[in-house]
A and B are shown apart, each in its own frame.
Chain A
Amino acid sequence: QSVLTQPPSASGTPGQRVTISCSGSNSNIGSNTVNWYQQLPGTAPKLLIYNNNQRPSGVPDRFSGSKSGTSASLAISGLQSEDEADYYCAAWDDRLNGLWVFGGGTKLTVL
């Protein structure tokens, strides 16, 4: 059971816009920024969005992130076949001495 809650799956057709949600609590998303990672099949995770809505160099502007209260969302517009991957949200959690928590991941299928 992951601390952050994501839907296990999402899907869309090429060109569509899809969103993936991530729900947490006051100790993690409510107090800290949210980051998103993309994991293509058979590869290591890669940073996709940091500090709620910032894109690293090289990430297309089709990817965007937002945060409100204890929830966050990743939006992908103009969906492409190469976007088919697993997506994870993550946030620092202030409980105990502090720890990182991840969502369970969302498998995105491009139909």
Chain B
Amino acid sequence: EVQLVESGGGLVRPGGSLRLSCAASGFTFDDYAMHWVRQVPGKGLEWVSGISWNGGRIAYADSVKARFTVSRDNARNSLYLQISSLRPEDTAFYYCAKSWGGVNYFFDHWGQGTLVTVSS
């Protein structure tokens, strides 16, 4: 059974940084691209970033480019999102999602999300 478990969320001050992690199990992690999708509480879904199986292809939403960095460690079956220069509008649930194939394939499994709150 595919499992994706996010961690690392919490309360952070504006301008601060945070590193989110996603622990994957139940599938061959290094065969698939992975993504981060966020959702402001009560609002819609926003794709944040995607990374190919080997990190060779990375894409970001314009709203986070230059502030967020996605990476993965295939030996640890883990996906990461380094988020910096945080703004109140970055407050959201951050979901890890597995791609069916490459970065441009649909998301077939999602984690339960981790909440990031940016506030002074």
Residues of A within 8 A of B (CB): 2, 32-33, 35, 37, 39, 43-47, 50-51, 56, 86, 88, 90, 92, 97-105
Contacts and interface: CB of A to CB of B under 8 A. Distances in A.
Contacts, number: 60
B112 A44 contact: yes
Given A47-B108, A50-B108, A102 B100 contact: no
Contacts of B66: none
A45 B46 CA distance: 12
Which residue, B50, B100, B107, has most C-beta atoms of chain A within 10 A? B107
A44 B100 contact: no
Contact of A56 (B47, B60, B108): B108
Interface residues of B, number: 23
The 7 closest A-B pairs by CB, nearest first: A100-B47, A35-B106, A105-B44, A92-B104, A44-B110, A50-B106, A102-B45
A98 B45 contact: no
Contacts of A90: 45, 47, 106-107
B22 interface: no
Nearest to B113: A44
Contact of B47 (A46, A50, A101): A101
A88 B35 CA distance: 17
A88 B61 contact: no
B11 interface: no
A49 to B, nearest CB: 9
27 contacts: A33-B106, A35-B106, A35-B107, A39-B45, A44-B110, A44-B111, A44-B112, A45-B110, A46-B110, A47-B106, A47-B108, A50-B108, A56-B108, A90-B45, A90-B106, A90-B107, A97-B59, A98-B104, A99-B47, A99-B61, A100-B37, A100-B50, A101-B47, A102-B46, A102-B47, A104-B44, A105-B45
